[in-house]
Protein backbone atom coordinates (compact mmCIF):
# COMPACT_ATOMS: atom_id res chain seq x y z
CA UNK A 1 0.00 0.00 0.00
CA UNK A 2 2.70 2.43 1.00
CA UNK A 3 4.61 1.98 -2.27
CA UNK A 4 1.49 2.72 -4.34
CA UNK A 5 0.48 5.79 -2.38
CA UNK A 6 0.82 9.23 -3.96
CA UNK A 7 2.51 10.29 -0.72
CA UNK A 8 5.19 7.58 -0.78
CA UNK A 9 8.68 8.98 -0.34
CA UNK A 10 7.57 12.58 0.21
CA UNK A 11 8.95 14.98 2.78
CA UNK A 12 6.17 17.16 4.18
CA UNK A 13 6.22 20.14 6.55
CA UNK A 14 3.07 21.07 8.46
CA UNK A 15 2.22 24.36 10.14
CA UNK A 16 -0.62 23.35 12.45
CA UNK A 17 -2.68 26.52 12.69
CA UNK A 18 -6.18 27.42 13.81
CA UNK A 19 -6.44 25.70 17.19
CA UNK A 20 -7.48 28.91 18.94
CA UNK A 21 -10.14 29.78 16.32
CA UNK A 22 -11.53 26.25 16.42
CA UNK A 23 -12.02 26.58 20.18
CA UNK A 24 -13.44 30.11 19.97
CA UNK A 25 -16.06 28.99 17.42
CA UNK A 26 -17.26 26.47 20.01
CA UNK A 27 -17.12 28.83 22.99
CA UNK A 28 -14.29 26.75 24.47
CA UNK A 29 -10.96 27.88 25.96
CA UNK A 30 -8.10 28.06 23.44
CA UNK A 31 -6.43 25.17 25.22
CA UNK A 32 -9.30 22.89 24.12
CA UNK A 33 -8.24 23.59 20.55
CA UNK A 34 -4.66 22.61 21.30
CA UNK A 35 -5.87 19.41 22.96
CA UNK A 36 -7.88 18.40 19.89
CA UNK A 37 -4.91 19.52 17.77
CA UNK A 38 -2.65 17.10 19.62
CA UNK A 39 -5.07 14.24 18.79
CA UNK A 40 -4.97 15.24 15.12
CA UNK A 41 -1.16 15.31 15.29
CA UNK A 42 -1.23 11.67 16.47
CA UNK A 43 -3.69 10.58 13.80
CA UNK A 44 -1.96 12.31 10.88
CA UNK A 45 1.42 10.97 12.02
CA UNK A 46 0.08 7.43 12.02
CA UNK A 47 -1.52 7.94 8.63
CA UNK A 48 1.64 9.45 7.12
CA UNK A 49 3.57 6.44 8.39
CA UNK A 50 1.03 4.03 6.86
CA UNK A 51 1.08 5.65 3.42
CA UNK A 52 4.86 5.72 3.17
CA UNK A 53 5.71 9.40 3.80
CA UNK A 54 9.50 9.67 4.09
CA UNK A 55 9.67 12.59 6.54
CA UNK A 56 7.09 14.74 8.28
CA UNK A 57 7.95 17.92 10.14
CA UNK A 58 5.48 19.61 12.48
CA UNK A 59 5.70 23.16 13.77
CA UNK A 60 4.53 22.55 17.35
CA UNK A 61 5.86 25.65 19.09
CA UNK A 62 7.77 28.56 17.61
CA UNK A 63 10.46 30.68 19.24
CA UNK A 64 7.85 33.47 19.22
CA UNK A 65 5.05 31.46 20.89
CA UNK A 66 6.47 32.20 24.37
CA UNK A 67 4.77 35.60 24.12
CA UNK A 68 1.34 33.97 24.56
CA UNK A 69 -0.38 34.10 27.98
CA UNK A 70 1.41 31.91 30.51
CA UNK A 71 -1.53 29.55 31.03
CA UNK A 72 -1.71 28.86 27.28
CA UNK A 73 2.06 28.23 27.07
CA UNK A 74 1.80 25.92 30.10
CA UNK A 75 -1.10 24.03 28.52
CA UNK A 76 0.79 23.56 25.23
CA UNK A 77 3.84 22.32 27.17
CA UNK A 78 1.62 19.92 29.17
CA UNK A 79 0.25 18.55 25.89
CA UNK A 80 3.75 18.28 24.47
CA UNK A 81 4.77 16.27 27.57
CA UNK A 82 1.80 13.92 27.07
CA UNK A 83 2.74 13.61 23.42
CA UNK A 84 6.31 12.67 24.40
CA UNK A 85 4.94 9.88 26.60
CA UNK A 86 2.88 8.58 23.67
CA UNK A 87 5.96 8.73 21.44
CA UNK A 88 7.56 6.05 23.59
CA UNK A 89 4.81 3.78 22.30
CA UNK A 90 6.10 4.28 18.78
CA UNK A 91 9.05 2.19 19.91
CA UNK A 92 7.53 -0.84 18.22
CA UNK A 93 7.52 1.04 14.92
CA UNK A 94 10.44 2.00 12.76
CA UNK A 95 10.18 5.79 13.08
CA UNK A 96 13.11 8.03 13.76
CA UNK A 97 12.14 10.99 15.93
CA UNK A 98 14.08 14.26 15.75
CA UNK A 99 13.37 17.48 17.66
CA UNK A 100 14.17 20.76 15.94
CA UNK A 101 14.84 23.87 17.97
CA UNK A 102 16.60 25.08 21.09
CA UNK A 103 15.45 22.75 23.83
CA UNK A 104 17.39 24.40 26.67
CA UNK A 105 14.43 26.55 27.93
CA UNK A 106 12.09 23.53 27.96
CA UNK A 107 11.20 21.62 31.13
CA UNK A 108 14.11 19.40 32.23
CA UNK A 109 11.86 16.30 32.30
CA UNK A 110 10.86 17.00 28.70
CA UNK A 111 14.47 17.48 27.65
CA UNK A 112 15.35 14.11 29.18
CA UNK A 113 12.53 12.39 27.27
CA UNK A 114 13.47 14.17 24.05
CA UNK A 115 17.10 13.08 24.35
CA UNK A 116 16.10 9.50 25.12
CA UNK A 117 13.56 9.22 22.31
CA UNK A 118 15.99 10.73 19.80
CA UNK A 119 18.80 8.48 20.93
CA UNK A 120 16.68 5.30 20.92
CA UNK A 121 15.31 5.94 17.44
CA UNK A 122 18.43 7.39 15.81
CA UNK A 123 19.33 4.37 13.70
CA UNK A 124 15.82 3.65 12.46
CA UNK A 125 15.18 3.57 8.75
CA UNK A 126 11.42 4.28 8.56
CA UNK A 127 9.60 7.60 8.46
CA UNK A 128 11.38 10.52 10.10
CA UNK A 129 9.12 12.39 12.50
CA UNK A 130 10.49 15.88 13.13
CA UNK A 131 8.86 17.97 15.84
CA UNK A 132 9.85 21.64 15.95
CA UNK A 133 9.61 23.01 19.50
CA UNK A 134 11.00 26.40 20.43
CA UNK A 135 12.07 26.48 16.81
CA UNK A 136 12.71 29.40 14.50
CA UNK A 137 14.25 29.23 11.03
CA UNK A 138 16.33 32.37 11.58
CA UNK A 139 17.58 31.06 14.92
CA UNK A 140 18.52 27.77 13.24
CA UNK A 141 20.57 29.66 10.63
CA UNK A 142 22.20 31.85 13.28
CA UNK A 143 23.21 28.73 15.18
CA UNK A 144 24.77 27.27 12.03
CA UNK A 145 26.60 30.57 11.36
CA UNK A 146 27.99 30.64 14.90
CA UNK A 147 29.17 27.04 14.66
CA UNK A 148 30.89 27.77 11.38
CA UNK A 149 32.51 30.94 12.76
CA UNK A 150 33.90 29.12 15.78
CA UNK A 151 35.22 26.26 13.63
CA UNK A 152 36.92 28.74 11.31
CA UNK A 153 38.38 30.58 14.33
CA UNK A 154 39.63 27.27 15.75
CA UNK A 155 41.23 26.42 12.41
CA UNK A 156 39.17 23.24 11.95
CA UNK A 157 37.20 24.59 9.00
CA UNK A 158 38.64 26.50 6.04
CA UNK A 159 36.73 29.57 4.91
CA UNK A 160 36.80 28.16 1.37
CA UNK A 161 35.01 25.03 2.63
CA UNK A 162 31.90 27.02 3.59
CA UNK A 163 29.36 25.98 1.01
CA UNK A 164 25.66 25.04 1.03
CA UNK A 165 26.46 21.54 2.26
CA UNK A 166 28.45 23.02 5.18
CA UNK A 167 25.38 24.96 6.26
CA UNK A 168 23.02 22.01 5.79
CA UNK A 169 25.25 19.84 7.96
CA UNK A 170 24.72 22.29 10.80
CA UNK A 171 20.93 22.45 10.59
CA UNK A 172 18.68 20.41 12.86
CA UNK A 173 17.54 18.54 9.75
CA UNK A 174 21.06 17.43 8.83
CA UNK A 175 21.06 14.59 6.32
CA UNK A 176 17.32 14.74 5.72
CA UNK A 177 15.42 15.39 2.48
CA UNK A 178 14.19 18.94 1.95
CA UNK A 179 10.39 19.31 2.24
CA UNK A 180 8.57 18.67 -1.03
CA UNK A 181 5.70 20.74 0.24
CA UNK A 182 4.75 22.75 3.28
CA UNK A 183 1.14 22.74 4.33
CA UNK A 184 -0.45 25.42 6.46
CA UNK A 185 -3.96 25.03 7.81
CA UNK A 186 -6.54 27.66 8.81
CA UNK A 187 -6.38 29.91 5.74
CA UNK A 188 -3.27 31.86 6.78
CA UNK A 189 -0.71 32.13 4.00
CA UNK A 190 2.65 32.71 5.67
CA UNK A 191 5.77 30.69 6.41
CA UNK A 192 6.22 32.24 9.90
CA UNK A 193 9.91 31.44 10.38
CA UNK A 194 9.44 27.72 9.61
CA UNK A 195 12.21 25.80 7.79
CA UNK A 196 13.54 28.93 6.06
CA UNK A 197 16.57 27.27 4.46
CA UNK A 198 14.89 23.94 3.80
CA UNK A 199 11.82 25.44 2.12
CA UNK A 200 13.76 27.16 -0.68
CA UNK A 201 12.11 24.97 -3.35
CA UNK A 202 9.15 23.60 -1.40
CA UNK A 203 5.67 23.98 -2.81
CA UNK A 204 3.36 25.82 -0.44
CA UNK A 205 -0.08 24.31 0.08
CA UNK A 206 -2.75 26.17 2.02
CA UNK A 207 -6.09 24.94 3.26
CA UNK A 208 -8.88 26.76 5.09
CA UNK A 209 -9.46 23.76 7.35
CA UNK A 210 -8.58 24.52 10.98
CA UNK A 211 -5.98 22.11 12.37
CA UNK A 212 -8.32 20.44 14.92
CA UNK A 213 -10.71 19.61 12.03
CA UNK A 214 -7.95 18.34 9.74
CA UNK A 215 -8.49 14.75 8.56
CA UNK A 216 -6.71 12.03 6.61
CA UNK A 217 -8.80 13.04 3.58
CA UNK A 218 -7.52 16.60 3.92
CA UNK A 219 -3.97 15.22 3.95
CA UNK A 220 -4.72 13.27 0.75
CA UNK A 221 -6.12 16.45 -0.82
CA UNK A 222 -2.92 18.33 0.04
CA UNK A 223 -0.82 15.59 -1.55
CA UNK A 224 -3.02 15.73 -4.67
CA UNK A 225 -2.58 19.50 -4.86
CA UNK A 226 1.18 19.08 -4.54
CA UNK A 227 1.20 16.38 -7.25
CA UNK A 228 -0.58 18.77 -9.58
CA UNK A 229 2.17 21.38 -9.29
CA UNK A 230 4.94 21.78 -11.85
CA UNK A 231 8.27 21.96 -10.00
CA UNK A 232 11.04 23.51 -12.04
CA UNK A 233 13.75 24.36 -9.48
CA UNK A 234 14.61 27.51 -11.39
CA UNK A 235 14.69 25.72 -14.76
CA UNK A 236 12.11 25.88 -17.56
C1 LIG B 1 -1.45 27.10 16.26
O2 LIG B 1 -2.80 27.46 16.49
C3 LIG B 1 -1.01 26.05 17.17
C4 LIG B 1 -0.01 26.16 18.09
C5 LIG B 1 0.78 27.38 18.25
C6 LIG B 1 0.32 25.04 19.02
C7 LIG B 1 0.26 23.66 18.43
C8 LIG B 1 0.28 22.67 19.52
C9 LIG B 1 -0.32 21.46 19.51
C10 LIG B 1 -1.07 20.92 18.36
C11 LIG B 1 -0.32 20.60 20.72
C12 LIG B 1 1.00 20.22 21.33
C13 LIG B 1 2.06 19.71 20.47
C14 LIG B 1 2.26 18.44 20.01
C15 LIG B 1 3.49 18.11 19.23
C16 LIG B 1 1.31 17.36 20.20
P17 LIG B 1 -3.14 28.89 17.11
O18 LIG B 1 -3.22 28.76 18.58
O19 LIG B 1 -2.16 29.90 16.61
O20 LIG B 1 -4.56 29.11 16.49
P21 LIG B 1 -5.24 30.51 16.11
O22 LIG B 1 -4.41 31.10 15.02
O23 LIG B 1 -6.60 30.08 15.65
O24 LIG B 1 -5.28 31.33 17.36
Q: What does 82-135 look like in DSSP terms, one character per residue?
A: HHHHHHHGGGGS--EEEEES--TTS-HHHHHHHHHHHHHHTT--S-EEEEEEEE
pLDDT at 1 over 60: no
Query: Would you call 29 helix, strand, or coil by DSSP?
Result: coil
pLDDT at 157 over 90: yes
If phi > 0 it is left, if psi is from -120 to 50 it is alpha, else beta; for residue 17 that is beta
User: Ligand 1 within 6 A of 16 CB?
Assistant: yes
pLDDT at 93 over 90: no
Average pLDDT along the chain: 96
| Residue 59, pLDDT score | 98
| Residue 143, pLDDT score | 98
User: Ligand 1 within 6 A of 184 CB?
Assistant: no
pLDDT band for position 234 (50/70/90)?
confident
User: Ligand 1 within 6 A of 38 CB?
Assistant: yes
Report, as an integer, the average pLDDT of 222-226.
Answer: 97
User: Ligand 1 within 6 A of 37 CB?
Assistant: yes
How many angstroms separate the CA atoms of 2 and 23, rounded?
Answer: 34
pLDDT at 149 over 70: yes
Q: Which atom of ligand 1 is nearest to the CA of 23?
A: 23
User: Ligand 1 within 6 A of 101 CB?
Assistant: no
Residues 168-202 pLDDT 10s: 999 999 999 999 999 999 999 999 999 999 999 99
| Residue 230, pLDDT score | 84
Catalytic residue among 42, 65, 120, 193: 65
pLDDT at 224 over 90: yes
Edge-first strand order for the sheet with 55-62 is 96-100, 128-135, 55-62, 11-15, 181-184, 203-206
| Residue 91, pLDDT score | 64
- pTM for the model stands at 0.96
How many angstroms separate the CA atoms of 51 and 32, rounded?
Answer: 29
Phi–psi pair at 137, nearest 5 degrees: -65, -40
Q: Is 17 a catalytic residue?
A: yes
Q: Is 65 a catalytic residue?
A: yes
pLDDT at 17 over 70: yes
User: Ligand 1 within 6 A of 21 CB?
Assistant: yes
Q: Which atom of ligand 1 is nearest to the CA of 37?
A: 10
Distance 13 CA to ligand 1 centre (A): 15
Q: Are 200 and 231 in contact (CB under 8 A)?
A: no
Q: Are 48 and 7 in contact (CB under 8 A)?
A: yes
Report, as an integer, the average pLDDT of 104-129.
Answer: 96
pLDDT band for position 155 (50/70/90)?
very high
pLDDT at 2 over 70: no
Residues 42-82 pLDDT 10s: 999 999 999 999 999 999 999 999 999 999 999 999 999 99
- Cβ contacts of 230 within 8 Å, gap of 6 or more: none
Distance 74 CA to ligand 1 centre (A): 12
Classify each residue of 37-54 as buried b or exposed e, where b means 16 or more C-beta atoms within 10 Å of its C-beta: bbebbeebbebbbebbbb
- Cβ contacts of 18 within 8 Å, gap of 6 or more: 33, 185, 186, 187, 188, 209, 210, 211, 212, 213
pLDDT band for position 26 (50/70/90)?
very high
pLDDT at 217 over 80: yes
Amino acid sequence: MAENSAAAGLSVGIIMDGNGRWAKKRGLPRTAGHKKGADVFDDITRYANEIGVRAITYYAFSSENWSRPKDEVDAIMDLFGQSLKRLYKYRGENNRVVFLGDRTPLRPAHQDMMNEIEHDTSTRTGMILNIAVNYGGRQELLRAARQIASEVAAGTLAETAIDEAAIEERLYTKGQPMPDFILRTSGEQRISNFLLWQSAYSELVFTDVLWPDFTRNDFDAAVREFRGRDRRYGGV
